Amino acid sequence: MAGSGTTLVECKLLGRRAVGVHINSNAVMVARNRLDFSYAPLDVDYKVPEIRTSVGDARSLDLIEPESIDLIATHPAICQHHPLFSQPRGRPVKHA
């Protein structure tokens, strides 16, 4: 889940390659807009990293080549079937 692109922006600032995937195309457009800036740090070794964004389901990351990245940070899809979000309002949620 790329969300609004905050983590992707931090990757750009730190010179780290990143892939942002979100199921909502509007969120991807927001992330792309937030990434559209020039950055010239004082670090002479800084190289502009590759930042990719894509509309898709983060549970299926077939657009990423095997052995090509070191870390994937994602968020589970929130839906009506998730136990934390399927409780009627006003009733406590029991955690397993």
Question: Is the pTM higher than 0.85?
Answer: no
> Of the candidates 11, 6, 5, 10, which has an alpha carbon nearest to the alpha carbon of residue 28?
5
Report how far residue 21's alpha carbon sits from residue 52's, in angstroms, rounded to the nearest whole number. Answer: 8
Report how far residue 76's alpha carbon sits from residue 86's, in angstroms, rounded to the nearest whole number. Answer: 15
Q: How many CB atoms lie within 10 A of CB 5?
A: 24
What is the block-wise mean pLDDT of the chain (96 residues), using blocks of 10 residues? Answer: 84 89 89 92 89 82 74 58 49 52
| pLDDT, position 68 | 73
Query: Whole-angstrom distance between the N-terminal and C-terminal Cα of the chain?
Result: 25
* Residue 3: DSSP 8-state: T
